[in-house]
Structure 1
Amino acid sequence: MKSLKQTFFIGMLVSSMFSCNQENDNTTTPEDDDVERDIVTAELTNQLSNQVFVDLNAGTTTTVEVNAWELAFDQDGVIKSNTGKKVALAFPVESDFEAINEESATGLQYLYDDETGDLSSTAWNGNDFELNTPYILDLGINGLGKALGFKKFIISENSSSQAVLKYADLNGDNEQTVTVEKTAGFVYFSMIDNTINDIEPANWDLVVTPVTVRTGAPCFTMGDAAIPGVNCDIMRLSASVIINQNGNVTGAISSNYPDLEPNDDPAEQINLLTIEDSNFEEVDANNVADHEFTTQGDVIGKEWFHIQKPHSSGVYKVYSHITFLVNDEEGNHYKLRFLTYSKDGQNGYPTFEYQLIK
């Protein structure tokens, strides 16, 4: 974990930030002026192996490894699964914890936290999972994309003060019972390491993180023809930006082109826009309140970039013409816009500038 503060004048940006191959990333450069701005590069890495919490007011970032946790618990009863490494939950056929075995994990529909970051739509909270009932947890993948296997588990308590869970390997080995004491925000637990890990900083406004997104049809729509992970429920990782809903952070979008939708055709109008088409400079204290702020987790989400055809090339268009607004829990308003998704020719390094609206 690290905490960094990067404050720059736009005219003094480090040139290496924009040294990546222009053909592989639609890097944009802000105007050269004397306005003080902050620049953040979230080093998710090209394997999307990190998540980066950002405190706009303090100007700090906290970078943690995605693989450090599987489940997280808060005082409101929300249970998050780590969508950043494809952690998923499933209902086994067996209703007895001891009866669940290695064959139990096959042929199931695995459920993921919603990519929007909506805390009411996590895999647990949005799919009728219950206390004192055994389930299967897909531990997801490591940084190299290798599957980490499965655990069976029961959560017997999920109160405002603590969560109690029992878990084991599918064959019954390594059984553990753990009490997770809750504090403000989320408390993060790893079944792999049997540890409570320090993930979330005390104060943060947004997190730049991998999320699991579905490509292809949901398996339940295909009946007996469904082969999970092969012809349906194909899951991939994508970068996203989620605001801190537990911290009462709100956000909004502002653009001179609000009707244009993200598109993968390089010839479409939205993909021809540049930072020169931004309204970033026009958003100020006189009009910031005119925008419609929301607590929606993915108000920024993946709206700031889109992969271009052919997808195999890994070329992303960064929508620097869009201005995002964030109102932190202290009541400060910030505006931000994204500049690039890559560094040194490698994707996975979202960079944005932001400024306090005074």
Structure 2
Amino acid sequence: MKKNFIFILTFLLIAVVGCNNDDDTATANSVNVAFASPSVNLTENTTTLNLVFSGATATAGTITLSVATENVVYGTDFKTVPAVANNTLVVPFTAGASSATFSFEKLINAIEGEVKNVKFTITAVSTSAVVVTEAAKSLQVNFNETASLGQSLSAAVGGANQPNQVYVDLSSGTMTVVPRVSWDLGFHAGTDFRIAINGSLKMSAKQLTTTNIDEVQVADESMIISQGAGSATQIDNPVGLITGTAIAPVSENDADNKVYLVNLGSNPATNTPASGTEGSASGSLRGWKKIRVLKSGNDYKLQYAEIGATTHTEVVISKNSGYNFSFFSFTTNGTVNVEPQKDKWDLNFTTFTNLVGPTTPYYYPDFIVNNLKGGAKAYMVAVSQTVTYDNFTLANVVDANFTEDQRGIGSNWRSTSVTGSDGIPVSQFVLRTDRFFVVKDPAGNIYKVKLTGGASNTGERGFPTFLYSLL
């Protein structure tokens, strides 16, 4: 601000000299007026904005400002004293004044990712004894971004077949929808050279003894993940720590980097399942690949091929520190955009390969993971006579309950069957209303989150809705 003020005063002094030598522009006794700064970032609810004169004004008068807005409405997002009328603000000043001021009151903050500003421009002065400094006649007032206070949202996972993953950023209220089949491998952008596989498709990976990617391999049906089938060592650990990937860390020594047999899992089903059941796991099998990953400086070198091939394709995949992973697709044979930036999402509505017990893979639809690798954590709160979603406040948060596990919500928000009239379980989505969740985002904002639905009016699964509020 000090530099800006000196900058403006310099313009004013130049303007005064110019006026003294140009009787056609103003009298020798005229003064110049300009904004004290070209822009202001709002940090307080009420801010005093200044117009400065190069000398004392000879008489009283007014300065007329035009008002241009971006994504704000007067009276809703902001107001001023004096008031704005017809996109015009008139600011008075007294005789002998060295400045004129008006106040700006911010009524609603900008949430993350939203641009909100107001631009004031001097268009007229009531007296010819005050001359506008053209180079400094405008001021832009910027609304600082803040976290969303909360809202109700619906995650578009796509119905009972749940073909989509939905990434949610609570602080901005934005959601990113990505087809589950759009990616196969995730190459970690951190210091660890680790590769993730797409658990939402029931993928698995098994290390072989060879380092020769061109050696013919055969399918291994024991790798196929189904309910209670498959190997825990061949899936990424569902806790979500980057050290738990099925594929070993890439070694500096190429001889240590083995070939992996990769089962690509299954597609979402194309047929609509019966009401209350899910179809995300019953699609066609996606086949097999063999891969080998080496280091290429600070990047990855991926070698891949069909399992019966005697030649391979090679591609270098770069790290991008702004993201958790760089994603690769065997369908497009290239990198693809999947997750938002690592600090721009908190929850992922997805299908998921979990474990039942320490060694048994089990596939879950209607699953929610928190962005553990980006720093988001979550835990569950049980509703009681004294604790409810409505009365839960920041003072009730137990920081120690945030754990290093991306399943802080997981499947705990729903069940999938009810007991029929004959005593036999019947498939049906059931929302668990006896609990809600606390989520801390990568910026440290803490929210309470309540799932409010998961099925359509006709009972079709795959329609999750939720409510959240900033604590």
> Matched residues in 1 for 2:328 and 2:439: separation?
29
Aligned to 1:207: 348
Aligned to 1:240: 367
- Report SS of the residue matched to 1:120: helix
Structure 1 residue 253 displacement after superposition = 1.9
Structure 1 residue 303 displacement after superposition = 1.1
Conserved in 2, the CA contact under 8 Å of 1:51 and 1:64?
A: yes
In 2 relative to 1, CA 336–168 (structure 1 residues): closer, same or farther, beyond 3 Å? Answer: same
Bigger share in strand: 2
- Report SS of the residue matched to 1:330: coil
> 2:465 aligned with 1:351, yes or no?
yes
Conserved in 1, the CA contact under 8 Å of 2:216 and 2:310?
A: no
- Report SS of the residue matched to 1:67: helix
| Candidates 240, 243, 247, aligned match of 1:120 | 243
> 2:220 aligned with 1:105, yes or no?
yes
TM-score (norm 1): 0.71
In 2 relative to 1, CA 104–143 (structure 1 residues): closer, same or farther, beyond 3 Å? Answer: closer
> 2:175 aligned with 1:61, yes or no?
yes
Aligned to 1:194: 333
> Matched residues in 2 for 1:169 and 1:85: separation?
19
> Matched residues in 1 for 2:241 and 2:308: separation?
34
Aligned to 2:284: 146
Conserved in 2, the CA contact under 8 Å of 1:248 and 1:295?
A: no
Aligned to 1:48: 162
Aligned to 2:196: 80
Structure 1 residue 212 displacement after superposition = 1.8
In 2 relative to 1, CA 336–235 (structure 1 residues): closer, same or farther, beyond 3 Å? Answer: closer
- 1:187-210 superposed Cα distances (whole Å, 9 cap, x missing partner): 111122212111011211111111
Structure 1 residue 352 displacement after superposition = 1.1
Aligned to 2:20: none
Structure 1 residue 238 displacement after superposition = 2.1
Aligned to 1:264: none
- Report SS of the residue matched to 2:244: coil
Aligned to 2:74: none
Aligned to 1:288: 397
In 2 relative to 1, CA 331–234 (structure 1 residues): closer, same or farther, beyond 3 Å? Answer: closer
- 1:254-292 superposed Cα distances (whole Å, 9 cap, x missing partner): 1136xxxxxxxxxxxxxxxxxx99710121123225662
In 2 relative to 1, CA 346–116 (structure 1 residues): closer, same or farther, beyond 3 Å? Answer: farther
Q: Which amino acid aligns with 1:118?
A: L
Q: What's the Cα RMSD here?
A: 2.9
Conserved in 2, the CA contact under 8 Å of 1:254 and 1:291?
A: no
| Candidates 292, 300, 305, aligned match of 2:409 | 300
- Report SS of the residue matched to 1:96: coil
> 2:274 aligned with 1:165, yes or no?
no
Higher RCO (CA-CA < 8 Å; seq separation 6+): 1
- 1:202-245 superposed Cα distances (whole Å, 9 cap, x missing partner): 21111111102457996xxxxxxxxxxxxxx6753422211112
User: 243-252 or 305-314: which moved more?
Assistant: 305-314
| Candidates 171, 184, 187, aligned match of 1:70 | 184
In 2 relative to 1, CA 167–187 (structure 1 residues): closer, same or farther, beyond 3 Å? Answer: same
Q: Which has the larger radius of gyration?
A: 2
Structure 1 residue 57 displacement after superposition = 0.5
Conserved in 2, the CA contact under 8 Å of 1:251 and 1:294?
A: yes
In 2 relative to 1, CA 332–215 (structure 1 residues): closer, same or farther, beyond 3 Å? Answer: closer
- 1:60-94 superposed Cα distances (whole Å, 9 cap, x missing partner): 11010000011101123232110001111023465
Structure 1's unaligned 5+ residue stretches are 1-35, 219-232, 258-275
| Candidates 424, 429, 439, aligned match of 1:326 | 439
- Report SS of the residue matched to 1:72: strand
> Matched residues in 1 for 2:188 and 2:349: separation?
20
> Matched residues in 2 for 1:125 and 1:280: separation?
42
Q: Which amino acid aligns with 1:120?
A: T
- Report SS of the residue matched to 2:243: coil
Structure 1 residue 95 displacement after superposition = 5.4
Aligned to 1:91: 207
Conserved in 2, the CA contact under 8 Å of 1:84 and 1:212?
A: yes
Structure 1 residue 177 displacement after superposition = 0.3
> Matched residues in 1 for 2:330 and 2:416: separation?
34
> Matched residues in 2 for 1:107 and 1:94: separation?
19
In 2 relative to 1, CA 343–148 (structure 1 residues): closer, same or farther, beyond 3 Å? Answer: same
> Matched residues in 2 for 1:182 and 1:164: separation?
11
> Matched residues in 1 for 2:154 and 2:248: separation?
32
In 2 relative to 1, CA 318–288 (structure 1 residues): closer, same or farther, beyond 3 Å? Answer: same
- 1:316-337 superposed Cα distances (whole Å, 9 cap, x missing partner): 2211221211111222110011
Q: Which amino acid aligns with 2:199?
A: T
- Report SS of the residue matched to 2:374: coil
Structure 1 residue 346 displacement after superposition = 1.3
> Matched residues in 2 for 1:50 and 1:247: separation?
21
> Matched residues in 1 for 2:309 and 2:237: separation?
30
> Matched residues in 2 for 1:286 and 1:135: separation?
49
> Matched residues in 2 for 1:205 and 1:216: separation?
27
Structure 2's unaligned 5+ residue stretches are 1-148, 224-229, 270-282
In 2 relative to 1, CA 146–104 (structure 1 residues): closer, same or farther, beyond 3 Å? Answer: closer
> Matched residues in 2 for 1:62 and 1:294: separation?
25
Corresponding pairs, count: 286
> Matched residues in 2 for 1:278 and 1:65: separation?
38
